[in-house]
Amino acid sequence: MIQSLSDSMYVELHSRSAFSFLEGTSLPEELVAACAGLNMPAMALLDRDGVYGAPRFHMAAKKAGAKAHIGTEVTTVCGASECRSRHLERSKGSLFLNGSFRLPLLISSRIGYQNLCRLITKMKLRAKKDEGAIREEELEEHADGLICLTGGDNGPLAAALARGGFEEALRHVDRLTQIFGHNNIYVELQRHLHRDEEARNRAAIEIARSLHLPLLATNGVCYATAKGRELCDVFTALRNHRTLATAGRLLSRNSERYLKSPQQMEQLFADLPDALANTSELSSRLEFELSDLGYEFPRYPVPEGETMMSFLRERTREGFQQRYGRATTDLKGRARRQIERELALIEKLALAGYFLIVWDIIHFCREQGILAQGRGSAANSAVCYALGITAVDPVGMDLLFERFLSEERGEWPDIDIDLPSGDQRERAIQYVYQRYGERGAAMTANVITYRNRMAAREMGKALGFDPETLNKISAAVATWEYKDANDALDHRFRDAGLDLRHPRLRKYFELCLATLDLPRHLGQHSGGMVICQGQLDSVVPLEPASMPGRVVVQWDKDDCTDMKIIKVDLLGLGMMAVLEDSLQLIHNNYKEQVDLAQLPQDDPTVYSALQKADTVGMFQIESRAQMSCLPRLRPQNFYDIVVQVAIKAPPGTRNRYLSASFA
């Protein structure tokens, strides 16, 4: 059972996860599991220059019944020319006289979280990808709601001591108190059993007493258990473009940077009980949780005298006339009742803005001659059909609206928009950026993780393997996936000619296994966009994507879902480009304007082709698996096609359906 803060003397307030890319070796969930195993009531995650792992840390802590404190280590770098000018400010005790260091910051309130997000965004957006540093004036501007620690080996106090000795360090910490406030500075102590660190601790204690600042014990955690040190050393070698054999003093001196129990920390700091007690005191001050993000989806701008809901109703009414104007009386009546039912739920869930923003993107595409088509469960919505978001009549085909939106499920709607791949899609993405501003919209991230090939190559590089061996191993494991005991990864290594009984090769194999699924770097999602009311950079930090003209948030699509952030997917498909060209060719050659929404749904020639598996070039049903099922399932109506596309479901579902079909 996890202890309460009042019962525990120690809370770890300085740890990093594998989302400090190539620095930490444990996933956020592993850190939380270790924290819960030690009965620690709370823990803080401070990854480098971002909050990449914060959602997973928060969700895991919530599940474990622990409190997740969020922060980051922000990088500062002083260039040569800047440092010369900063020397003129020595009387002010400028922070930036000390070259490069990392400033550990903890969040105490929502204002502090917003300030940290904006601080990280500023440093990221003005620099190249994976670079950037904060400026002193920016710290002063965004200090509210943040608590600053003096750090460990790469912290501001250590940098000042190394550069100018005790007096320089004293001035430096005093300057931090001017920026963050005297009550928001804690002098950090770490003990990893080596002499240089203890000398720094003695200076830190003296500085704390001189400035009347509280001491704070931490362990500067880089891995959940001591075993993680091996992989941490490998990452250090990779980060510095060395092998383990040539990394020398860059590597850790020991394995002490794991998550230690309160009892172990009490033994380490038996002479400084206040440094331990202050961890609980500070933890109680850190009130912010990620559940308090304050995210709002944008309010769509409507004409004076209108509300978003009234504007949506009018656009839907216009679309109803266009879509169902020539329909039978019965279909019109059913469609009108269905639309009213959907609009009532949309109003109840306050989602009018979301539907209008998606409609606005579709409207822009239509005006610009870009073929745009909603996909997925949005096709079950009569409102989406009336707004022109989708081209399938859900009423005429008896599709279930609740598959798309249901009050009971408590989930946000998810509308994916398919666009022609290439320049057409990019025009739509840039429209969203222009409409909501550089900091009002961004792409969701894609966390690139270690897979077989990358793990084999990078672990081999760190161990000094020759290129020929690395190529052979990488080729052997590139397409590996576990099927049965005979297809285990160690079999692939043996196929590449490696004898796993050899100690060095066995260690290589273990490192490859340990690395799998750990985050390597941040990429960009294929089309997911996040839009926010106000400034998105107050909700999550933004950074430049590798593609010019794009910005990404620091979270992937699953993190955004967990944090209840709505995204819109703008997906590029080659088949949409083919459709767009086909529509143009029909118009040029036959002078006909084809409306996809008005195509007949019961054309016997189409179903005959499907039943013969004559589907080469037909999106979603051209794979071998789909073509093998089509002659057996013999789709005869639209719903049969829905089932056919979904047939590659989990085996149990597939087998039950096939059994029922052929009974």
Residue 578 has pLDDT above 50, yes or no: yes
Q: How far is CA 402 from CA 353, 373, 642, in A?
A: 20, 20, 16
Cα separation, 499 vs 215, in Å, equals 52
Yes or no: say if 72 and 47 are a contact pair by the CB < 8 Å rule.
yes
For 45-59, 136-150, 595-609, which range has the lowest pLDDT when averaged over its residues? 595-609
Residue 174 has pLDDT above 60, yes or no: yes
Residue 379, number of CB atoms within 10 A of its CB: 22
Q: Is 74 strand, coil or helix? A: strand
- Pair of tokens at residue 498: 């490696």
Check residue 642 and give its pLDDT.
Answer: 78
Check residue 80 and give its pLDDT.
Answer: 39
391 Cβ partners below 8 Å, 6+ apart?
A: 373, 385, 595, 596, 597
- Pair of tokens at residue 31: 């850190």
Task: Give the residue with greater pLDDT, 569 vs 218.
Answer: 218
Cα separation, 30 vs 528, in Å, equals 28
Check residue 437 and give its pLDDT.
Answer: 84
Q: Is 133 strand, coil or helix? A: coil
Q: How far is CA 431 from CA 191, 351, 507, 560, 649, in A?
A: 53, 22, 51, 22, 36
Task: Give the residue with greater pLDDT, 544 vs 189.
Answer: 189
- Binned at pLDDT 50, 70 and 90, residue 663 comes out as very low
CB burial of residue 299 (10 Å; 0-12, 13-18, 19+):
middle
Cα separation, 318 vs 306, in Å, equals 16
The pair phi, psi for residue 107, each rounded to 5°, is -100, 125
Cα separation, 221 vs 14, in Å, equals 6
Cα separation, 129 vs 522, in Å, equals 10
| From-to residues of CATH 3.30.1900.20 in the chain | 308-447+522-575
Query: Which of 150, 148, 235, 249 lies closest to 190 in space, CA to CA?
Result: 150
pLDDT, mean over the chain: 88
What is 28-290's CATH number?
3.20.20.140
Most confident of 65-74, 446-455, 574-583: 65-74
- Pair of tokens at residue 165: 């000795």
Residue 252 has pLDDT above 90, yes or no: yes
> Which residue is it, tokens 């429209």?
431
For 162-171, 487-496, 601-610, which range has the lowest pLDDT when averaged over its residues? 487-496
Residue 409 has pLDDT above 90, yes or no: no
Check residue 448 and give its pLDDT.
Answer: 93
Residue 283 has pLDDT above 70, yes or no: yes
Residue at 638: amino acid letter: F
Residue 7 has pLDDT above 60, yes or no: no
pTM as predicted? 0.88
- Pair of tokens at residue 604: 């016997």
| From-to residues of CATH 3.20.20.140 in the chain | 28-290
Residue at 499: amino acid letter: D
3-state secondary structure 91-111: HHCCHHHHCCEEEEEEECCHH
Check residue 91 and give its pLDDT.
Answer: 42
DSSP-assigned letters across all residues of 382-430: HHHHHTTS--S-TTTTT--GGGT--TTTT-----EEEEETTHHHHHHHH
**Interval 465-492: pLDDT, tens:** 988 888 888 777 766 555 555 556 677 7
CATH class of 308-447+522-575: alpha beta
Yes or no: say if 103 and 76 are a contact pair by the CB < 8 Å rule.
yes
Please state whether beta strands 215-217 and 185-189 pair in parallel, antiparallel, or not at all (unpaired). parallel
- Pair of tokens at residue 213: 């600042």
Report the share of the chain in percent with pLDDT over 70. 91
For 22-26, 173-177, 583-587, which range has the lowest pLDDT when averaged over its residues? 583-587
Check residue 9 and give its pLDDT.
Answer: 82
